[in-house]
Each structure stands twice: as structure tokens, then as C-alpha cells.
Amino acid sequence: MVEKDMQKTENVSATERIRNVKTFVPRVDIYENKDSLFLLADMPGVDEKSVDIELEKNVLTITGRVEDGRMKDATMMYSEYEIGDYERVFTLSEEIDHNKIVATVKNGVLRLELPKAEKVKPKKIAIKAA
């Protein structure tokens, strides 16, 4: 593993944001079974209110807003990580049923269940004898 994997990766996206905070790329695990695709993203500091999931066509966008990490009446003595929002975009190869997406956030981990859409069944074309 590369050392940078240990730390949060800063998002170097082309779009500029209005909020003057850093954005990070959340680390994700993706796995699938025959019915759905599961996505787990490490987003410490977000809860169900501050996370936003958008699926447009096959582009899945995850954003998480994190409250200002500064502590009141406290002085920072030592810092190893920075606090910022999260953003990551995925392109899905398979058709996902948009209405059946289930998202939960627990202990700073976002869990998405993306059920695969019922595929259009291949039609059988009967060939008539000429």
C-alpha cells in the first residue's frame, strides 16, 4: 500500500465549490451479488442529514457535508488530518433501479444498496417459413 492511502485524498475536481472548504475523496468498497450492487464509503463526520446521493442516468454522485471541525475554546496542538466535505462520482455500467436505492449512514460509513434493474428480456423472434 502506498503511504498516501493512509491519509485522506484531497479532491482535485474541476468544479469549484461555493463553500470554502476542502473536499476529500471518500474511500469506498464496492461489491455485488446478482441482484444488487453495494457501496460502502468512509465518510467520518457525516450523518444521514448531511449526505446526498444523486443518480443521473448511470452517474452516481455522493456528497457529504461535514460540520466545521474546529472545537470551541480549544487550541489545536497537533494535527494529522484535515476536515472537509466529501465528494465522489462513479459511472455505473449496469442499469440500476432508481426507485429502489437504499442508503444508510452508520458510524460515519455510508452504505448504499443499488438494486439492478430488471433487464429487458431478450425477445425471441420466430422466423416464418417463406
Partner 1 sequence: MFNPSLWRVRRFSDTLPEMLQLQREMNRLFSNVGQKSPQDYPAVNIWEKDGNAVITAELPGIDPEKMDISVLGDTVTLSGMALQETFTQGETYLRQERGIGSFKRNIQLPFQVNAQAVEARYEKGILMITLPRNKEDLPKKIKVQ
The residues of the shown chain that bind partner 1, judged by CB under 8 A, are 1-3, 5-8, 27-34, 37-38, 40, 42-47, 69, 71, 73-81, 106-109
Query: Across the chain, which distance is largest between two alpha carbons, in Å?
Result: 88
Least CB distance from residue 7 to partner 1, whole Å?
7
Least CB distance from residue 96 to partner 1, whole Å?
14
Minimum CB distance to partner 1 smaller for 93 or for 127 = 93
Taking the C-alpha atoms of residue 46 and residue 33, their distance in angstroms, rounded to an integer, is 27
Taking the C-alpha atoms of residue 115 and residue 96, their distance in angstroms, rounded to an integer, is 6
Least CB distance from residue 46 to partner 1, whole Å?
6
Closest CA to 95 of 52, 59, 54, 53: 59
Minimum CB distance to partner 1 smaller for 72 or for 128 = 72
Minimum CB distance to partner 1 smaller for 5 or for 118 = 5
Least CB distance from residue 20 to partner 1, whole Å?
20
* Distance linking the first and last C-alpha atoms of the chain: 65
Identify the helix (H) or strand (E) that includes residue 52: strand 51-56
Amino acid at 105: V
Least CB distance from residue 129 to partner 1, whole Å?
42
Taking the C-alpha atoms of residue 126 and residue 124, their distance in angstroms, rounded to an integer, is 6
